[in-house]
Amino acid sequence: MKLSDIAQVIRTKNAGPRRLTLDIMFGSDADYRRVAQSPALGAANIGRLYRVPAEQVTIIPYPVGRAIKIVMARAMMAGDPGDVDVYGAQQHAPLLGIEI
Amino acid sequence: MSASGRVLAELAHRQRPIRLLGASGQLGYGIPARSFGAGLERRPDLIGCDMGSIDIGPTYLGKGEMATSPEATRRDLRRVLRAARDLDVPLVIGSAGSAGAAPHLDATLDLLREIGRTDGRRFRMATMRADIPRGALLDAIGSGHVTSFDGMPDLTREEVTEAANIVGQMGMGPFRRALAADVDVIVAGRACDTAIFASLPALLGFPIGLAMHMAKIIECGSLCCVPGGRDPILATLDADGFVLESMNPDRRATPTSVAAHSLYEQSDPFTMHEPDGTLDLTHAHYEAVDDRRTRVSGAAWRDTTSPTLKLEGARKIGERAVLLCGSADPRFIAQCKDLLPKVAEVVRDLVCEDLPMDYTLRFRVYGIDGVRMVAPDDEPSPGEVFIMAECIAPTRERASEVVRSCKQFLLHHGYPGRLSTAGNVAFPFTPPEVSLGPAYRFNIYHLLRVDDPDALFPVEIEDV
């Protein structure tokens, strides 16, 4: 089952101009637990998908919001020359096809 | 007596919950009239608006211009000013004019004075500038009071000198002083969003953790609801918690949707650092009051022992021009990642014949990797692509010269297997070269340790 089949929200945005945060939100506690436990949402796999060393990926489970937050440094500061996404709002595509 | 004096006196005298209306996140893009009217019917004790952010990129801070259009900004300011004056409650605006530096704040104040004149409204207005004097900042670097975070390089004296505008995010102190000075309207330069809404409750002795948590949510309007949106939101705060209710009846603040709002644009949903202290949401509790209102409790607050301000600054890096075109030739598209650097070399040989290489020229190919920071190599070629060539050069003329040369040589560039020898690209209009004005980048994003943050943000009062 793909993450896009089970998650209610899959989004990215800047958290300050130097960090990118990915939020994945679920419609039920069961869905949340199932994905939160999956290694597919671990730092190693996320680091591989986003070409960032695993040590630089922070995974924060947020059960009260039925969500998983992932944080990593942006390759370049928001708005720097060569930036492709000033707000960081369209970087979630690599997450959609993750197999759970 | 002015609005803030009246509200402070009333709430100090009668212990009751305080009502705060989050009228708009990013003021200046329009406030839905019906839900705003519903908010006013609830007789809030304060109307607050967040008017700026660093999230919008460096150009507005660098250039000294607002992100919002003058007309929409004027309309929004008139709406909230009228409402606040009719109810005789304080109007509090933070991060004025999109980026909160002097030009942004002054433009906002001019609009408010103009509205006062044309509407025949008189009011007492407090203003707090957020600009950090260069001299003070250079001294602070010298004494080791400026630190980097989030991997930003250390702040140099040169960057301070070159920054077009430098602001510090003020906390609650300046707002508390403004409220206590008995005014009708408070307009601050760059400020923490929380200070806009937490300062009045803090002044009245409400628990600061609850006030801060409430402020963090309502500064975004009804984004914490499902479905989320920009409608105004009402918070009712008492000594043990606060209730959230969107003023649009179709939006529901549910325990999960409100809890999830702590994720929005934050790198940590549990701990948030403010200039005045730290907000701890580890034990925050969200409970449904009914199917569209939620009560929140449990936030904790720790005062800081070492006040720290977040500094923001932007510097000009050149003038920007772009070339806009597309291709529908499969062979060109298949090879474009190899072709475009070659076109850039041809352009360089032409425009640098008697001038140095004083510009950058980048290509973005939408349809392949124009949007994604990380794009796979193995996707099937699209039928069409949009190509934007972007030049940043020391002058407008130089940037324009580069993209014009680029256009001609991209159009006629020969490559292996080429069939479409009449031209490689399609222009949506001509001229397809567009000058976009000055380009900026953030060059200051650092922490300033200060003994007395309030001294940096004096309150000025005028009668409009």
pLDDT digits (tens, 9 = 90+) for B311-356: 999 999 999 999 999 999 999 999 999 999 999 999 999 999 999 9
For B372, which of A19, A64, A91 is closest by C-beta distance?
Answer: A91
Beta bridge partner(s), residue B324 = B388
Count CB-CB contacts under 10 A for residue A29. 11
* pLDDT on residue A60: 97
As a whole number of angstroms, the distance between CA B383 and CA B262 comes to 41
User: What is the DSSP track for B140-164?
Assistant: HHHTT-EEE-TTPPPPPHHHHHH-S
* Cα of B457 vs its chain's centroid, Å: 20
pLDDT above 90 (res A74): yes
B281: tokens are 């949401």
Interface test with A, best of B159, B225, B263 (most A CBs within 10 A): B263
Cα–Cα distance list, A23 to A40, A89, B234 (Å): 15, 11, 26
Band (B383; pLDDT cuts 50, 70, 90): very high
Q: Are B218 and B230 in contact (CB under 8 A)?
A: no
Q: What percentage of chain B reaches a pLDDT higher than 70?
A: 100
Write the CB contacts of B95 (distance below 8 Å, at least 6 apart in sequence): B50, B51, B52, B53, B188, B189, B190, B191, B193
Cα nearest neighbour of A60 on chain B: B268
Interface test with A, best of B26, B53, B55 (most A CBs within 10 A): B55
For B370, which of A21, A78, A84 is closest by C-beta distance?
Answer: A84
CB B374 to CB A16 under 8 A?
A: no
Residue A92 DSSP label: -
Sort out which chain A residues have CB atoms less than 8 A from B391's CB and list them: none
pLDDT tens-digit profile of B139-190? 999 999 999 999 999 999 999 999 999 999 999 999 999 999 999 999 999 9
pLDDT above 90 (res B90): yes
B225: tokens are 């609801």
Band (B14; pLDDT cuts 50, 70, 90): confident
Q: For this complex, say whether ipTM is above 0.90.
A: yes
As a whole number of angstroms, the distance between CA B458 and CA B16 comes to 31
For A18, which of B56, B152, B264 is closest by C-beta distance?
Answer: B152
As a whole number of angstroms, the distance between CA A46 and CA B377 comes to 18
R_g (Cα) of chain A, nearest Å: 13
Size of interface A-B (CB pairs under 8 A): 113
Q: What average pLDDT does the structure give for chain B? A: 97
Write the CB contacts of B378 (distance below 8 Å, at least 6 apart in sequence): none
Mean of pLDDT values over B222-242: 96
pLDDT above 90 (res B463): yes
pLDDT above 90 (res A92): yes
CB B265 to CB A14 under 8 A?
A: yes
For A17, which of B360, B439, B442 is closest by C-beta distance?
Answer: B442
Q: Does A90 touch chain B (CB under 8 A)?
A: yes
As a whole number of angstroms, the distance between CA B47 and CA B83 comes to 8
* pLDDT on residue B454: 87
pLDDT tens-digit profile of B278-313? 999 999 999 999 999 999 999 999 999 999 999 999
CB A85 to CB B371 under 8 A?
A: yes
The label of the residue with tokens 């034990």 reads: B283
Cα–Cα distance list, A14 to A76, A86, B54, B55 (Å): 11, 8, 10, 7
Beta bridge partner(s), residue B125 = B185, B462
pLDDT tens-digit profile of B117-145? 999 999 999 999 999 999 999 999 999 99
pLDDT above 90 (res B265): no
Q: What is the pTM of this model?
A: 0.96
CB B269 to CB A79 under 8 A?
A: no
List the alpha helices (DSSP H) in B352-446. Answer: 396-411
